[in-house]
């Protein structure tokens, strides 16, 4: 049925029955909002680890890394490894989130700045951002299951066959050295890059699949709350690790069977022999337009600062029984994902050799590999992979759903509808959670690729970054500064870019607004391997066949031998500068901008910056840094020129934040906080700069040791990455 065997379907059904059963069991243990939204704040290190891992790892993880690696080589692994540099920071910030002692991140803005309206604003805006994060998983799951259940060429309709043929032509042109293309071929390449035709079509309707998954999550997470989500995260975490490993041995066995010799080489040795050297460039690959070293640094900085402002991070850390469980689980779960990321990249490298020429759309490579490597065994492994992919999505979706449910319930609905019973609020939360899942499914259709959505999520929470960080660490930050920072950033970077093109639609076809990068040809020198020699031979033969009476073009290409040094000219595709999506031709044949506008880059271009002459990654880096720095500057300036916020509620907030959560129970913790209120001078012992307005805490032995170990693990992750990519070299 749809390309799945009976045993595959049985595996999927059993898995779904188990997690729905967990949801029903957990629903009977819910008595109030704290049980539903934070599981009673009782989870230890093991569950916190898998909860963090589950939230950080959706279906986009393996699919996205395999996609970018298949398309761009080892440098594509950075699409999911960016956060590795920020992970040690979470050892320090996770206890802060537990120490907040609030139900939602919206409560922080209300308590710190004394504004229910700010809390409600955060709840609504954050819900939109979380829909974007959820849509990444929906997209990745769809791509994979489409590739597992593909139509045969014989079943294509007329339009699908036409698009399939175009994808084959695009792939053929992409594979050739740009200098060997004729002028008509170069134009054809540009046109097909804009069209971006698909090569795989599925029997399964993508929209129907999304709604089926929505229904399953509704059945177990909406009913069972965070406790159901965390317990299923443990089960789903196991499945995610399985899917990270299971394809590697099968892909290596196939490589050895197809390309091995009597010399007994390993699969990785064969990869290094067969694939061009450029595919093993971890930094600086000429084919990776997004992940230059400077973009990696900028994106890591932005992600590290904004991720702690996301509402789901508070839920994960806030549900821990103590600070140590919060920090241990968050950091360990994060590192677990980093090691899985490397395994996904290894699968992507193997797929380059096995499936180049067979799969034109890199987004489908994970599903194609699953079907090819596991399907013939007929022992339920394809069903296990489908269940694992859905598990990866649902482990993220359930926690995000509960996060948004709590935000809207506690910071929007409850202030409007006060005095209702706990049962009423729990059911209202379930309804809001269901609406969030539906919204995420709708947002999925608004982006072209997984990477586009990821960039949107990385950047989105800069809206609240300054208000969060300075609100915690600078007592001089006040309500006026926070509001100015939030509203100006929201208006300038997110509302106007959407509204302006709607009010003035002509700007989408304005030639000035359609500027794209004009990358200079990049020449790199490599040592010829078997793949290079074979590609060189094919290119010469193709050029000779163009005109048998004129083979002068072929004579200009020197035949390669193994071990020869040779130059390759790369001309990267032009990329839109002022818009979030690539332009496409409309019904009138005009090139039309798509997505939302980047006003900061428009301003720089208007000032003569000539962004079209700069690399795409540099433009993106500049844009990210402007968005990160601007809200901090606004908040600092406004706060300095307005009155300090010195009310009793603000004073108590900082006294509470200086009081550690020791894990002795909620009553004991309440006594510790009251003692801080009664003896404020004693809490100043925790401050590094007690006579200033800075709330910088002294590090204890646990802080120092854990941070240094985390830095060490980062080095181990990087060493593992370099070792895995260069294994067999």
The DSSP line for 222-240 is IHHHHHHHHHHHHHHHHHH
| 222 pLDDT higher than 70 | no
CB 501 within 8 A of CB 553: no
Are the C-beta atoms of residues 599 and 627 closer than 8 Å to each other?
no
Number of CB atoms found within 10 A of residue 205's CB: 11
pLDDT at 92 over 60: yes
Residue ranges of the chain that CATH labels 1.20.1730.10: 6-150+200-247+279-460
Average pLDDT over residues 687-709: 92
Query: Is there a contact between 359 and 200 (Cβ–Cβ < 8 Å)?
Result: yes
Half-sphere exposure (Cβ direction) of 402: Cα atoms closer than 13 Å: 34
**Token pair for 36:** 């539903």
> What pLDDT, on the 0 to 100 scale, is given for residue 395?
63
Query: Quick check: 684 pLDDT over 80?
Result: yes
Structural contact between residues 138 and 441, judged by C-beta atoms closer than 8 angstroms: yes
Q: How far apart are CA 578 and CA 575, in angstroms?
A: 9
Say yes or no to pLDDT of 30 above 60.
no
Beta bridge partners of 150: 202
For the ranges 28-42, 150-164, 363-377, 408-422, the lowest mean pLDDT is seen at 28-42
- N- to C-terminal Cα distance for the chain? 43
Helix pair angle (422-443, 381-408), 10° resolution: 120
* Spatial contact of 579 and 587, defined as CB atoms under 8 Å apart: no
At 581-601, the pLDDT tens digits run 888 887 787 888 888 889 999
Give the pLDDT band (50/70/90) at residue 444.
low
Residue 284 has pLDDT above 70, yes or no: no
Which pLDDT value is given to residue 77?
85
CA angle 289/343/524 to nearest 5° reads 35
pLDDT at 259: 84
Phi, psi (degrees; rounded to nearest 5) at 202: -110, 155
Q: What pLDDT is recorded for position 382?
A: 81
Give the residue, 296 or 119, on which the prediction is more confident: 119
Between CA 247 and CA 250 the distance in angstroms is: 5
pLDDT at 178 over 80: no
pLDDT at 298 over 70: yes
Nearest partner of 368 among 135, 15, 67, judged by Cα: 67
Residue ranges in 504-598 assigned as alpha helix (H): 530-546, 552-555
Average pLDDT of the chain, as a whole number: 79
Q: Which of 568, 584, 574, 582 is nearest to 614 (CA)?
A: 574
More confident residue, 487 or 43: 487
Highest average pLDDT, of 97-106, 207-216, 224-233, 240-249, comes from 97-106
Where residue 550 falls among pLDDT bands split at 50, 70, 90? Answer: very low
What average pLDDT does the segment 643-654 reach?
A: 92
The mean-pLDDT minimum among 28-32, 60-64, 332-336, 605-609 falls in: 28-32
User: Where residue 39 falls among pLDDT bands split at 50, 70, 90?
Assistant: very low
Percentage of residues of the chain with pLDDT beyond 90? 19
**Average pLDDT of the residues in 462-468:** 94
Give the tens place of pLDDT for each residue, 319-357.
677 888 888 888 888 888 888 889 988 998 998 888 876
Backbone angles phi, psi at 230, to 5 degrees: -70, -40
Does position 549 have pLDDT exceeding 60, yes or no? no
Asked whether the predicted pLDDT for residue 397 surpasses 80, the reply is no
Alpha carbon distance 53, 48 (integer Å): 8
- CB count within 10 Å of CB 417 equals 12
Using CB atoms within 10 A of its CB, is residue 152 exposed (0-12), middle (13-18) or buried (19+)?
A: exposed
* Cα–Cα distance for residue pair 632/463, rounded to 1 Å: 10
- Categorise residue 2: left if φ over 0, alpha if ψ from -120 to 50, beta otherwise: left
Question: pLDDT at residue 193 above 50?
Answer: yes
Tell me the H-state helices in 409-476. 414-416, 422-443, 450-460, 462-473
DSSP state letter for 33: H
* Across 68-92, average pLDDT: 83
**What's the chain's length in residues?**
729
Instruction: Indicate the pTM of the whole model.
Output: 0.77
* Token couple for 570: 């790369």
Q: Tokens 């992940």 — which residue?
A: 291
Query: Which of the residue ranges 6-20, 309-323, 391-405, 644-658 would you say has the lowest mean pLDDT?
Result: 391-405
The stretch 359-379 carries a mean pLDDT of: 78
pLDDT at residue number 666: 76
Distances, alpha carbon 345 to alpha carbons 25, 59, 75, 578, 712, in Å: 38, 15, 9, 31, 22
Using an 8 Å Cβ cutoff, are 49 and 332 in contact? yes
Instruction: Name which of 260-264, 285-289, 427-431, 566-570 the model is least confident about.
Output: 285-289
Residue 477 pLDDT grade (very low, low, confident, very high; cuts 50, 70, 90): very high
- What is the pLDDT, as a whole number, of residue 493? 92
Which pLDDT does position 314 carry in this prediction?
A: 78
Helix residue ranges, H only, 492-529: 496-503
User: What is the rounded average pLDDT of the residues 205-223?
Assistant: 66
Which CATH code for domain 6-150+200-247+279-460? 1.20.1730.10
User: What token pair was written down for 220?
Assistant: 């177990």
User: Residue 164: which residues within 8 A CB-CB, separation 6 or more?
Assistant: 153, 156, 197, 198, 199, 201
Query: By three-state DSSP, how is residue 644 classified?
Result: coil
Least confident segment among 252-266, 475-489, 495-509, 603-617:
252-266
**Tokens in use for 269?**
């040795």
Sign of CA dihedral 233, 234, 239, 244: positive
């Amino acid at each position: 049925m749809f390309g799945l065997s009976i045993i595959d379907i049985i595996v999927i059904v059993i898995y779904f029955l188990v997690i729905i059963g967990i949801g029903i069991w957990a629903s009977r243990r819910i008595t109030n909002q704290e049980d539903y939204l934070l599981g009673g704040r009782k989870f230890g290190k093991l569950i916190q680890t898998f909860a963090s891992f589950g939230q950080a790892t959706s279906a986009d993880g393996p699919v996205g890394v395999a996609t970018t690696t298949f398309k761009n080589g080892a440098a594509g692994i950075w699409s999911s490894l960016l956060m590795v540099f920020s992970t040690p920071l979470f050892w320090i910030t996770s206890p802060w989130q537990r120490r907040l002692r609030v139900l939602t991140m919206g409560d922080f803005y209300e308590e710190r700045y004394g504004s229910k309206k700010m809390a409600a604003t955060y709840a609504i805006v954050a819900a939109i951002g979380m829909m974007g994060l959820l849509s990444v998983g929906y997209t990745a799951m769809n791509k994979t299951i489409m590739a597992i259940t593909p139509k045969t060429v014989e079943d294509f309709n007329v339009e699908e066959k036409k698009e399939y043929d175009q994808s084959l032509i695009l792939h053929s042109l992409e594979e050739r050295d740009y200098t060997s293309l004729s002028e008509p071929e170069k134009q054809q390449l540009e046109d097909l890059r804009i069209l971006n035709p698909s090569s795989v079509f599925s029997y399964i309707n993508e929209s129907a699949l999304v709604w089926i998954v929505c229904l399953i999550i509704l059945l177990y997470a909406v009913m069972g709350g965070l406790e159901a989500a965390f317990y299923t995260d443990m089960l789903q975490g196991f499945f995610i690790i399985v899917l990270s490993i299971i394809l590697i041995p099968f892909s290596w066995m196939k490589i050895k069977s197809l390309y091995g010799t009597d010399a007994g080489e390993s699969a990785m040795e064969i990869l290094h022999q067969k694939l061009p050297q450029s595919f093993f460039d971890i930094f600086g690959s000429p084919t990776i337009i997004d992940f230059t070293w400077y973009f990696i640094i900028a994106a890591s900085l932005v992600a590290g600062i904004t991720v702690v402002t996301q509402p789901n991070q508070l839920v994960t850390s806030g549900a821990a029984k103590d600070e140590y469980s919060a920090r241990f689980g968050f950091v360990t779960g994060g590192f677990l994902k980093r090691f899985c990321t490397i395994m996904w990249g290894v699968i992507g490298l193997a797929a380059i050799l096995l499936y180049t020429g067979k799969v034109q759309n890199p987004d489908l490579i994970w599903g194609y590999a699953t079907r090819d490597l596991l399907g013939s065994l007929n022992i339920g492994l394809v069903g296990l992979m489908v269940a694992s992919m859905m598990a990866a999505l649902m482990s993220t979706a359930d926690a995000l759903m509960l996060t948004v449910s709590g935000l809207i319930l506690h910071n929007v609905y409850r202030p409007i509808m006060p005095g209702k019973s706990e049962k009423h609020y729990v059911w209202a939360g379930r309804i809001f959670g269901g609406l969030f899942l539906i919204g995420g499914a709708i947002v999925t259709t608004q982006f072209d690729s997984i990477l586009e959505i990821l960039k949107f999520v990385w950047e989105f929470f800069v809206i609240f970054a300054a208000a969060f960080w300075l609100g915690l660490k600078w007592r001089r930050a006040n309500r006026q500064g926070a509001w100015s920072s939030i509203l100006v950033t929201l208006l300038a970077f997110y509302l106007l870019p959407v509204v302006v093109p709607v009010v003035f639609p002509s700007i989408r076809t304005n030639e000035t607004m359609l500027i794209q990068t004009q990358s200079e040809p990049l020449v790199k020198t490599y040592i010829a391997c078997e793949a290079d020699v074979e590609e060189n031979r094919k290119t010469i033969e193709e050029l000779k066949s163009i005109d048998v009476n004129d083979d002068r073009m072929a004579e200009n290409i020197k035949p390669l031998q193994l071990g020869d040094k040779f130059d390759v000219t790369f001309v990267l595709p032009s990329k839109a500068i002022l818009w979030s999506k690539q332009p496409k031709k409309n019904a009138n044949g005009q090139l039309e901008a798509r997505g939302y506008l980047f006003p900061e880059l428009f301003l720089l271009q208007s000032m003569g910056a000539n962004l079209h002459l700069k690399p795409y990654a540099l433009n993106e880096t500049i844009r990210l840094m402007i968005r990160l720095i601007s809200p901090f500057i606004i908040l600092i300036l406004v706060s300095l020129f307005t009155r300090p916020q010195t009310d009793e509620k603000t004073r108590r907030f900082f006294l509470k934040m200086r009081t550690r959560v020791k894990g002795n129970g909620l009553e004991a913790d309440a006594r510790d906080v009251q003692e801080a209120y009664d003896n404020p001078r004693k809490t100043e012992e925790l401050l590094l700069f007690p006579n200033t307005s800075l709330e910088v805490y002294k590090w204890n032995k646990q802080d120092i040791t854990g941070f240094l170990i985390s830095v060490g693990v980062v080095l181990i992750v990087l060493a593992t990455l370099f070792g895995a990519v260069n294994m067999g070299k």
